[in-house]
Chains A and B, each alone.
Chain A
Amino acid sequence: MSSGFGLGPRELDSVFPFHFVIDSDTRVIRAGPAIQRLLPDFAGGKKLDSLFRIKRPANLVGYREICEHSDQLFLLEARSLDKLLLKGQMLYLPHADAIVFIGAPWLTDSSDIGALGLTLNDFAIHDSVPDYLLLLHTLKTSLGDAQALAEQLNVMNRQLEGRIEERTQEVVSANATLKEANHRLLQEIAERRRAEQILFESESRFRMMSDSAPVLIWMSGTDKLCNYFNKGWLDFTGRTPEQEMGNGWAEGVHQEDFKRCLDTYVSAFDARQEFSMEYRLRRHDGEYRWVVDHGVPRHDNHGIFLGYIGSCVDITERKEFEEELKRSNTELEQFSYAVSHDMRQPLRMISSYLQLLERSLAGQLDSEKRDYFNFAIDGAKRIDQMLVALLEYSRVGRTGEPTVWIESRAVLDEALQFIQPALDEAQAKLSISGDWTRIFASHDEILRLIQNLIGNAAKYRVAGRIPEITVTSGMVKNEWRLCVADNGVGIIPDQIKRLFQVFQRLQSREAYEGTGIGLALCRKIAEHHKGRIWAESAGEGKGSKFYVALPVSREKI
């Protein structure tokens, strides 16, 4: 085979752009285009040693040694171009007694391309260094990608851990809330069970008490319809609960009482007020019996209206007794009136004739007999006064005077006009206080009442002590209350009960003029107005307080 395939200079440049040739004096006598471009001072026969440092093989000096190591890989470091490291082989050319270096740059980082100013055109096409550079750069890019991804994953991981922590906290918090709610629920259930037990016991107690009570008990709901009757009721009417429920009970109410009864119930119910009414209710034997029915509204613990509960008591016997008493009282009053009225005429005769007799015997009577006459005349006068008072007493509630709305203060002022002389005589100090409201009453009777009480306060004074009288008016609940207080003789406590009885006197007639009817009259007036009267005193000589309480309503009296 011919050896005539030797490469010419152009072909050598094309396939080995980084080659150079040195002579036996190690001077560079030729270089490839890439070497010439990268190292412009290469030309001019410079010695190899001034251009490159032979890194490998180490410690080579001179042409011969290079020749001897031509079977070794040579690494040449450019002295004038940092980072340019050539890798290749030294080939001895015997026919020219020269050595040719054939190699290419060795790069360890793609950034070296830019640093050295290399381009793809500097390399032979067959050279794999560009591929290696691409691979290096790809590796770098991939590593960068991997790092970026790792960082991204780290960020996402941290976010995820943060979210897990948040969710964990939420779950812990939700668990705690749930546990607390569960605990509360269990407590509520226990409390509800206790409440149910208490309610059950309460209901049982109520039914037992209700059924054993000697009264008729009923209950209604918010719809006004009755939903409960106790055993007493059912025993009384002889009917079943089903018959009585709702409005069934009304069938037993006397026809004459039914409308009044229903009106009272409905109006009280709508106003949520207590009520009391009397009506006749048919007993199991068919007899109508009077009952007093007292109803009160029912509310639960929160004040919510639940309906009514009522109790009835058979008052037939009391009613009959009251009727009898009323009849008897009427007869007694008529008798008293007749007696006192009719007795005044002969009494006046006795008194008149005694006076005539005294005058006609005036010269014949000694002082003792004159005293006898005077005692008899005085006794007759006192009997007359007592009869007048008794007449007045019996007239209370019989005069036919209507009850109207009157101003209590106006009545007081009117009364003071009448008794002013007595107050002046007693040098009494009077003070008036409180609220003086309108009351529904008989004007003349209230006038008389006030007159009597203030008159008594002035009359029953302690000698040598200026009377101090205080008159106070005011409302207490639904009552108008009048108080007349004084600093007079007072009352021995155990005598207070006798005060308001007819002809009862706690003081001697000699010391205090009077008929013994005044306070009895006051009591009768108070009672005629469905009110009360009472007295209080710390004892004898310690003053008194007289109270009158009248209901302020338009109830007919």
Chain B
Amino acid sequence: MYGLVNKTLQEMIIDRYGNAKWEEIRKESEIEPLFFIAMECYPDEMTYKLVAGASSVLGVPADQLIRSFGEHWFQVAKVGYKEILDFAGDNFVDFLKNLDNMHTRVGLIFTGFRPPSFKCTEVTDSSLRLHYYSERAGLTPLVDGLLVSVGKHFSLEVDAVLDKSRAGGDDHDEFIVHFRKA
């Protein structure tokens, strides 16, 4: 996992719970680095440990934490990666359609990125089906949070329902996404 993910998680925890809690979580998770380099590749295990440690220290279920992280992730990206997000599309559907292109292109640039893959089908004016493929387990709630946050970015209310999931025995996750003007 790229350091950007761990770094954003660290910033979210410090913002919401303070430095002391972060230090507690870092010790609980047995994580050595004091800070993360955004474009440095870190073992996935470190991110999973951080999530588990934060869940234990903060008393928040891991799924809820990951979903919050998904929302937070997009808010952070809006500040630091505004041009890229704008480049990805000027409306909700285009944005989701280009998600896979963007991840593919990023994957070409950064070796070892192992980006997820997205596909939009059954697109209408108010809904679509989002297919989510990932080598990593447990990050489905992140997509859920991300969808809500992207919807807000385009001034839409978004309801994403997980229709199919790897946890339920399917080979990938599928969200039925409904959106309407907020």
User: A residues touching B (Cβ–Cβ < 8 Å)?
Assistant: 110-111, 113-114, 118-121, 125, 130-131, 133-135, 137-138, 141-142, 144-145, 149, 152
Q: Which residues of B contact A125 (CB under 8 A)?
A: 101
Q: Which residues of A contact B38 (CB under 8 A)?
A: 141-142, 145
Q: Is B84's beta carbon under 8 Å from chain A?
A: yes
Closest to B38 in A: A145
Q: Which residues of A contact B39 (CB under 8 A)?
A: 138, 141-142, 145
Q: Is B23's beta carbon under 8 Å from chain A?
A: no
Beyond A120-B87, A138-B39, 20 extra complex contacts between A and B, CB < 8 Å: A110-B83, A111-B83, A113-B84, A113-B86, A114-B83, A114-B86, A118-B87, A119-B88, A119-B89, A120-B88, A121-B94, A130-B87, A137-B83, A138-B110, A141-B39, A141-B80, A145-B38, A149-B35, A149-B37, A152-B35
24 contacts between A and B (CB under 8 A): A110-B83, A113-B84, A113-B86, A113-B87, A114-B83, A114-B86, A119-B88, A119-B90, A119-B94, A120-B88, A120-B98, A120-B102, A121-B98, A125-B101, A130-B87, A131-B109, A134-B102, A134-B106, A135-B109, A137-B83, A141-B38, A141-B39, A142-B38, A149-B37
- Distance in angstroms from A111 CB to nearest chain B CB is 6
B interface, how many residues as a size bin? 20 to 34
Q: Is B153's beta carbon under 8 Å from chain A?
A: no
Closest to B98 in A: A120
Which residue from A114, A120, A130, A133 sits with its C-beta under 8 Å from B89?
Answer: A120
Flag B76-118 by CB within 8 Å of A: 1 or 0 each: 0000111110111110001000100110011011100000000
CB pair A131–B105 under 8 Å, yes or no, is yes
Closest to A114 in B: B83
CB pair A110–B84 under 8 Å, yes or no, is yes
- Distance in angstroms from A118 CB to nearest chain B CB is 7
Flag B102-138 by CB within 8 Å of A: 1 or 0 each: 1001101110000000000000000000000000000
Closest to A145 in B: B38
Q: Which residues of B contact A130 (CB under 8 A)?
A: 87, 101, 105
Q: Which residues of B contact A137 (CB under 8 A)?
A: 81, 83-84
Q: Which residues of B contact A119 (CB under 8 A)?
A: 86-90, 94
Closest to B80 in A: A141
Closest to A133 in B: B87
Known contacts A120-B102, A145-B39: does B109 contact A134 (CB below 8 Å)?
yes
- Distance in angstroms from B32 CB to nearest chain A CB is 16
Q: Which residues of A contact B86 (CB under 8 A)?
A: 113-114, 119
Q: Which residues of B contact A111 (CB under 8 A)?
A: 83
**Complexed CA–CA distance, A144 and B7 (Å):** 14
CB pair A138–B109 under 8 Å, yes or no, is yes
Q: Which of B39, B84, B86, B94 is the most central at the interface, judged by chain A CB atoms within 10 Å of its CB?
A: B84
Q: Which residues of B contact A118 (CB under 8 A)?
A: 87
CB pair B109–A120 under 8 Å, yes or no, is no
**Complexed CA–CA distance, A120 and B102 (Å):** 9
- Distance in angstroms from A121 CB to nearest chain B CB is 6
- Distance in angstroms from A359 CB to nearest chain B CB is 136
Q: Which residues of A contact B87 (CB under 8 A)?
A: 113, 118-120, 130, 133
- B10-65 interface with A by 8 A CB criterion: 35, 37-39
Q: Which residues of A contact B90 (CB under 8 A)?
A: 119
- Distance in angstroms from A153 CB to nearest chain B CB is 10
Q: Which residues of A contact B102 (CB under 8 A)?
A: 120, 134
Known contacts A113-B87, A141-B80, A141-B81: does B106 contact A120 (CB below 8 Å)?
no
- Distance in angstroms from A295 CB to nearest chain B CB is 74
CB pair A145–B89 under 8 Å, yes or no, is no
- Distance in angstroms from B79 CB to nearest chain A CB is 11
Q: Which residues of B contact A121 (CB under 8 A)?
A: 89, 94, 98
Q: Which residues of B contact A120 (CB under 8 A)?
A: 87-89, 98, 101-102
Q: Which residues of B contact A141 (CB under 8 A)?
A: 38-39, 80-81
Closest to A115 in B: B83
In the A-B complex, list the 7 residue pairs whose CB atoms are closest, starting with the nearest. A145-B38, A110-B83, A113-B83, A113-B87, A120-B98, A131-B105, A142-B39
CB pair A114–B82 under 8 Å, yes or no, is yes
**Complexed CA–CA distance, A119 and B91 (Å):** 11
Known contacts A119-B89, A131-B109, A134-B105: does B84 contact A145 (CB below 8 Å)?
no
Closest to B104 in A: A131
**Complexed CA–CA distance, A114 and B86 (Å):** 7
Closest to A120 in B: B98
Closest to A139 in B: B39
**Complexed CA–CA distance, A149 and B34 (Å):** 11
**Complexed CA–CA distance, A118 and B37 (Å):** 29
Q: Which residues of B contact A113 (CB under 8 A)?
A: 83-84, 86-87
Q: Which residues of B contact A138 (CB under 8 A)?
A: 39, 109-110
- Distance in angstroms from B181 CB to nearest chain A CB is 21
Closest to B4 in A: A141
- Distance in angstroms from B136 CB to nearest chain A CB is 21
- Distance in angstroms from A445 CB to nearest chain B CB is 97
**Complexed CA–CA distance, A111 and B106 (Å):** 18
